[in-house]
Structure formats: structure tokens, C-alpha cells
């Protein structure tokens, strides 16, 4: 267990120094240049208000710009006793209205007043609002770093991982590792999820070799990699053309007793397809069944793309029939490629089922597809340049 000091946490890492320039607002509510926000009448009453009644008052506020003035007025009452539920309600409402400077105001008030003890769940909600809703990544990180010293709450690994995930999702790859190194100072014991996020970030930034090194870090952190770990690494290897190395990881995970899932096999099929190793990709669908892994719709779709890329259009149609029998709907792109291929090979007799199934699935063939079909069905009209142009003939047939 990592020791959590009761002293104020001093974080002097460069990543934090770049975050210190984040706005601090006055504790007093902002003035309105047009009209002053109305304070709910109940807050003017001298009757003592219970926490539940206070929540009801703030819930009833329709204008989000009234939240801070109402909170300020409530703070002047003798029965002022804010709760985590109240702060959560106010911050969520402000976030929905994209009033993030007002959220800064609330957080500064909380930090200075220390009127109630707040949980890790509360700060995780604040981080989600800053990062996911507002896109204020620096403020999301700053909230995490401020938790121990500024608010007296140590972050959980779940909250720590949320920040890592936000950084990877926004492609701030250089910062991810810096934040990861702060785990000990924040009192966080990293878990497999933390390492998986690091692996994902390294793979997405093209540093697959570094991601593979993280795989060896799992036992040092007393963690075990899972199917997601290996799938992420396999995808990174397949993207850079190292499909055989990806299969090496498949053997390694099986040797370590980790069962590959359908996502794992889909990644490998897609990797083989990129290298035009179509037969191997098609065969892998059967192999995954033998290994006790049921294909999902994406598995069938990847194999269908293999057949289409290999220009084996009649086989692709038969495979489509198999997919439909399993209640797996092919993609619109699949139908489009199949129709183009069948037309190109003048296999117009195969088109009827494809068109019918396409419309049953809710896809509408576009004008260009109809033109191609009609050129194949009526080649003599398409080649007739004596009376009317080809385009006019096709338009007439379509309409």
C-alpha cells in the first residue's frame, strides 16, 4: 500500500507548472449588466431550511446564471450548510449551460470554505464536466492534482484513470506519461486499467515498441494483462504492418492462459486484409470458432471485406447470404462494392438478390449505383450514341 501523507501535497512537476495559469474568480457572484438574477423567495425566509429543502430550491432554478447569486445568498444565512449533493447539482447545471468560469468560482469557494467533506465521486464528476463536456483538459488535470492538498481528498485509481483516458482521447500523448508518473505523489496505486490506457496512448502515437515494453511492466506493478491489453498491442502492430508479430502476441496470451475474444480475432483478420493475405483472414474465422470464440458481426464483416478486396464477388454474395441467415447485416459499403464488382464482371443475374436484400435492410441504392446496374443490364442501350446520349437513356430507364 502506498503511504498517503497527511501533509499538504506539493506538486512541483513541470506538467503542473504549466497548469497553474488557470482562472481564479472572485468569491462574490458576478454582476449582471442587464438585470439582476432573481433569488428564490424561500432563501429570503427566516425559517430554517433543511438540506433537502435547499436542494429543492436549487433544483427549481431554471436560469443557470441565477445559481451563483443564489449560492452566495444562501452562504449569508445562519443555516448555511452546503452538501456534496448541492455542489454536484450546481456544477452539473452550470456544465450543461457551458458556464465553466462559474464552475471555477464554485470550486474556489469550496476550496476556501471547507464547509463539507467531499468524496472522490464528486471530483470525478467535476473532472468529467471539465474534460468531457467542456474540453478544458488542463482544468480537469488541475482538479485531480488539487484533490489532496486543496480539498483534502485523495483520488482513487478510478479518478486517476479517468484523467489518463481523457488525455489519450484528446491525443495529448506527451502529457499522459507525465501524469502517469505522478501516481505515487497522488497516493494512487496504478492497476491494469491504468497500464492499458498507457499502452493505448503509446500505440496511437506510433510508439508501439514502447507499448510492448509496458507489457513487461505489468508484473512489476503486480498487475496482470488481459485480452484488451493484447488486442490494443496487436492493433498497433497491424497498423504498422507487423502482422506476424501480432500473431506472436496471440500465442503469448494463449500460453499465459488469457482467452482471446472476438475483438482480438477481428483485429488480426483486418491486419491480414491490409497485407492482402485474404485466404488467411478468411480461414481465421473458422479457427476462432475452433478455439471456442464466437464471431460477432464485425468478424463476418471483416471476412466479407476480404472477399470483396480479393474481387471474389460471387463468393462474397454467398457469404452475404450466410451472414443474413445469421441475422448479421452487411454494411452499405459492402453492398456498394459487391454491386460494382458484379456489374464489372457482367454477372447481372446475381444482382437481384443483392438489391432486394439491400432494400430489406433499409439501404437505398444511390443514382450512381443504378446507372452502373443499368449499363450492365442494357449494354446495347448504354453504347447507343445515335439517337440519344447514354446518360439520357439511363435517366429515362430509371424514371
- Residue 298 to residues 262, 267, 269, 272, 329, Cα–Cα distance (Å): 9, 10, 10, 15, 10
Residue-wise pLDDT for 110-158, tens only, equals 999 988 999 999 999 999 999 999 999 999 999 999 999 999 999 999 9
Q: Which residues contact 228 (CB under 8 A, 6 or more apart)?
A: 196
Q: Work out the pLDDT band at 381, boundaries 50, 70, 90.
A: low
Q: Work out the pLDDT band at 107, boundaries 50, 70, 90.
A: very high
Residue-wise pLDDT for 297-330, tens only, equals 999 999 999 999 999 999 999 999 999 999 999 9
Residue 11 scores a pLDDT above 50: no
Strands (E), 14-74: none
pLDDT at 42: 83
- Positive or negative torsion for Cα 315, 317, 320, 325: negative
Lowest mean pLDDT among 29-43, 94-108, 157-171: 29-43
Average pLDDT on 225-233 reads 96
Q: What is the CA radius of gyration of the chain?
A: 30
Q: Work out the pLDDT band at 392, boundaries 50, 70, 90.
A: low
Q: Which residue has the higher pLDDT, 135 or 4?
A: 135
Q: What is the mean pLDDT of the chain?
A: 87
pLDDT at 382: 52
Q: Work out the pLDDT band at 164, boundaries 50, 70, 90.
A: very high
pLDDT at 387: 45
Q: Work out the pLDDT band at 189, boundaries 50, 70, 90.
A: very high
109 CA to centre of own chain: 32
Average pLDDT on 227-250 reads 97
Amino acid at each position: 500500500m502506498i503511504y498517503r501523507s497527511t501533509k499538504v501535497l506539493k506538486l512541483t512537476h513541470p506538467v503542473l507548472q504549466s497548469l497553474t495559469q488557470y482562472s481564479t474568480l472572485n468569491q462574490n457572484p458576478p454582476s449582471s449588466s442587464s438585470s439582476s438574477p432573481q433569488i428564490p423567495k424561500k432563501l429570503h425566509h427566516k425559517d430554517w431550511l433543511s438540506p433537502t429543502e435547499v436542494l429543492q430550491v436549487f433544483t427549481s432554478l431554471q436560469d443557470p446564471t441565477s445559481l451563483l447569486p443564489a449560492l452566495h445568498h444562501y452562504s449569508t444565512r445562519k443555516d448555511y450548510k452546503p452538501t456534496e449533493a448541492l455542489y454536484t447539482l450546481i456544477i452539473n447545471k452550470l456544465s450543461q449551460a457551458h458556464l465553466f468560469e462559474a464552475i471555477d468560482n464554485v470550486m474556489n469557494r469550496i476550496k476556501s470554505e471547507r464547509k463539507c467533506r467531499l468524496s472522490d465521486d464528486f471530483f470525478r464528476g467535476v473532472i468529467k464536466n471539465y474534460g468531457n463536456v467542456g474540453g478544458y483538459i488542463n482544468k480537469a488535470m488541475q482538479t485531480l492534482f488539487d484533490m489532496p492538498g486543496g480539498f483534502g481528498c485523495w483520488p482513487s485509481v478510478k479518478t486517476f484513470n479517468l484523467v489518463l483516458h481523457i488525455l489519450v482521447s484528446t491525443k495529448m500523448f506527451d502529457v499522459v506519461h507525465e501524469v502517469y508518473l505522478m501516481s505515487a505523489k497522488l497516493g494512487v496505486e496504478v492497476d491494469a486499467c491504468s497500464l492499458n490506457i498507457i499502452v493505448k496512448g503509446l500505440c496511437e502515437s506510433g510508439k508501439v515498441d514502447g507499448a510492448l515494453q509496458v507489457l513487461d511492466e505489468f508484473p512489476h506493478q503486480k498487475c496482470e494483462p488481459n485480452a484488451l491489453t493484447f488486442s490494443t498491442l496487436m492493433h498497433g502492430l497491424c497498423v504498422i504492418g507487423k502482422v506476424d508479430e501480432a500473431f506472436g502476441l496471440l500465442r503469448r496470451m494463449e500460453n499465459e492462459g488469457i482467452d482471446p475474444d472476438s475483438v482480438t480475432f477481428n483485429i488480426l483478420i483486418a491486419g491480414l486484409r491490409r497485407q492482402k493475405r485474404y485466404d488467411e483472414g478468411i480461414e481465421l474465422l473458422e479457427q476462432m470458432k475452433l478455439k471456442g470464440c464466437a464471431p460477432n458481426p464485425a468478424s463476418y464483416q471483416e471476412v466479407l471485406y476480404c472477399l470483396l478486396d480479393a474481387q471474389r464477388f460471387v463468393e462474397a454474395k454467398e457469404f452475404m447470404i450466410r451472414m443474413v441467415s445469421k441475422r448479421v447485416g452487411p454494411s452499405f459499403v459492402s453492398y456498394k462494392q459487391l454491386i460494382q464488382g458484379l456489374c464489372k464482371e457482367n454477372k447481372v443475374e446475381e444482382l437481384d438478390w443483392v438489391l432486394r436484400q439491400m432494400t430489406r435492410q433499409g439501404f437505398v441504392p444511390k443514382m450512381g449505383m443504378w446507372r452502373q446496374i443499368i449499363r450492365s443490364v442494357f449494354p446495347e442501350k448504354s453504347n447507343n450514341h445515335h439517337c440519344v446520349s447514354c446518360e439520357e437513356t439511363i435517366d429515362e430507364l430509371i424514371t
